[in-house]
């Protein structure tokens, strides 16, 4: 009997570990079934240039999507991929393609940097992570200063493309969303706004992070996210796990840091254009108080570990549906982010 119980415990651990690894095997945009294929009117990854810059002792890599023409003093959007994602995959996904199309339509420079591999430290690989304040952060191979990388990338964009430093925005999902938080905490002066999808604040975030320069921020979370749980708790694969706050606690942290009102304007529900998806999107705006910055808290009621997408990309398998939860189809994540940025 005791032997049977041990085997059962081992089996449970194996299943949990497998699902944790699957979590990182699917970038949130990709796990949503959101992989797009370039077609008519869609930017092609081959037209976006892969480049590198020196950061400290090593090179870091990134993609550049430059609309034609790019006017002097153009804004910049930086897109951060999710855990075990990479810059090329992030560009191909519906979220990345949506931002690229908005780049072409609105004339902003789109930068998609690459994280590093948690095991090898390779900065040009395909299974990459961001050092997002979790402890351990997933950067066990070597110390990685991702904040310095992104700031160096902004400097590069200013020197080579003449961008407007006062209009630099950053967005990402899951691991990329948590890295967005870290950037706004450690280098708020570099950004005009941020948008974090399906990301809660790591509990390991230093206490001093609760004070600093306010930056407008949109937070979008699913109430039924099975991976980045609404109520917070342990996230990540074995060896890279750590605790995150709940979605409401993450919102409250940023309301306090940003000196925003604790009372939102009247919540507004987006039109339920896809009633069959079982998801409703409610937008809550917390206006800035004196010398503060606003917070937008987007609640995807019934939503999972997915970025909203009207198209939904390729058909999602039943397995992915169970693993990541419901995909909200009432709007597109790229539109949500860019609208917030333009209003900031």
What DSSP state is assigned to residue 37? -
pTM of the model: 0.88
Residue 51: HSE in the Cβ half-sphere, 13 Å Cα cutoff: 16
The per-residue pLDDT for range 229-260, each reduced to its tens digit, is 999 999 876 556 789 999 999 999 999 999 99
What DSSP element (H or E) covers 92?
helix 87-92
H or E element at residue 252: helix 247-257
What DSSP assignment string belongs to 287-302?
Answer: -B-TT---EEEEEEET
**Which residues is 49 bridged to in the sheet?**
64
Question: pLDDT band at residue 38, thresholds of 50, 70 and 90?
Answer: very low
Rounded to an integer, what distance in angstroms lies between the CA atom of residue 264 and that of residue 30? 32
- More reliable by pLDDT, 144 or 266: 266
Q: Which of 46-55, 187-196, 207-216 has the lowest mean pLDDT?
A: 46-55
Distance in angstroms (rounded) separating the CA atoms of residues 41 and 335: 17
What number is the average pLDDT over the span 306-310?
96
Residue 84, classified by CB atoms within 10 Å of its CB into exposed (0-12), middle (13-18) or buried (19+), is: buried
DSSP string, 11-30: HHHHHHHHHHHHHHHS-HHH
Euclidean distance between CA atoms 191 and 78, whole angstroms: 10
Q: Tokens 């999972």 correspond to what residue?
A: 304
At residue 20, the pLDDT reads 40
pLDDT score recorded for residue 316: 72
Q: Is the pLDDT of residue 19 over 90?
A: no
Give mean pLDDT, residues 149-161.
97
What is the distance of C-alpha 198 from the center of its chain? 7
Q: How many CB atoms lie within 10 A of CB 101?
A: 18
Taking alpha carbons only, the member of 14, 17, 12, 64 closest to residue 43 is 64
As given in the structure block, the two tokens for residue 304 are 């999972």
- The domain segmentation of the chain, as residue ranges, is 2-343
Give the span between the Cα atoms of 327 and 312, in whole angstroms: 7
**Phi (first) and psi of residue 216, to 5 degrees:** -55, 135
**pLDDT for residue 33:** 41
What integer best gives the mean pLDDT of the chain?
Answer: 86
pLDDT of residue 227: 95
User: What is the β-pairing status of strands 49-55 and 268-269?
Assistant: unpaired
For the chain, give the percent of residues with pLDDT over 70: 81
Among the residues of 128-224, which ranges form H helices?
146-161, 175-186
- Alpha carbons 39 and 246: distance in angstroms, whole number: 39
Confidence of residue 48 (pLDDT cuts 50, 70, 90): low
The predicted pLDDT at position 317 comes to 77
Tokens read off for 271? 């039109």
CATH architecture of 2-343: 3-Layer(aba) Sandwich (3.40)
């Amino acid at each position: 009997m005791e032997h049977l119980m041990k085997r059962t415990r081992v089996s449970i651990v194996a299943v949990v570990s497998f699902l944790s690894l699957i979590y990182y095997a699917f970038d949130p945009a990709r796990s949503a079934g959101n992989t797009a294929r370039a077609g008519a009117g869609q930017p092609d990854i081959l037209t976006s240039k892969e480049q590198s810059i020196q950061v400290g002792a090593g090179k870091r890599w990134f993609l550049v999507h430059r609309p034609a023409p790019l006017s002097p003093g153009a804004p910049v959007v930086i897109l951060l991929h999710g855990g075990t994602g990479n810059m090329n995959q992030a560009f191909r996904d519906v979220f990345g393609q949506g931002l690229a199309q908005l780049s072409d339509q609105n004339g902003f420079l789109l930068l998609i940097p690459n994280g590093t591999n948690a095991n090898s430290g390779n900065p040009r690989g395909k299974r990459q992570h961001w050092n997002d304040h979790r402890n351990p952060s997933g950067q066990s191979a070597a110390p990685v200063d991702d904040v310095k990388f992104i700031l160096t990338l902004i400097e590069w964009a200013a020197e080579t493309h003449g961008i407007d430093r006062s209009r630099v925005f950053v967005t990402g999902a899951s691991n990329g969303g948590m890295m967005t938080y870290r950037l706004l905490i450690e280098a708020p002066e570099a950004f005009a706004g941020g948008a974090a999808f399906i990301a809660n604040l790591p509990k390991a975030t230093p206490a001093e992070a609760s004070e600093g320069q306010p930056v407008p921020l949109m937070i979008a979370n699913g109430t039924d996210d099975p991976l980045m749980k609404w109520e917070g708790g342990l996230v990540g694969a074995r060896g890279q796990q750590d605790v995150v706050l709940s979605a409401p606690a993450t919102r409250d942290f940023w309301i306090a840091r940003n000196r925003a009102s604790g009372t939102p304007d009247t919540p507004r529900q987006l039109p339920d254009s896809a009633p069959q998806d079982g998801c409703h999107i409610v937008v809550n705006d917390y206006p800035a108080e004196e010398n503060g910055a606003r917070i937008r808290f987007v609640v995807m009621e019934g939503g999972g570990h997915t970025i909203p997408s009207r198209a939904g990309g390729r058909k999602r398998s039943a397995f992915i549906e169970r693993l990541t939860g419901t995909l909200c189809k009432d709007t597109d994540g790229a539109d949500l982010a860019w609208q917030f940025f333009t209003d900031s």
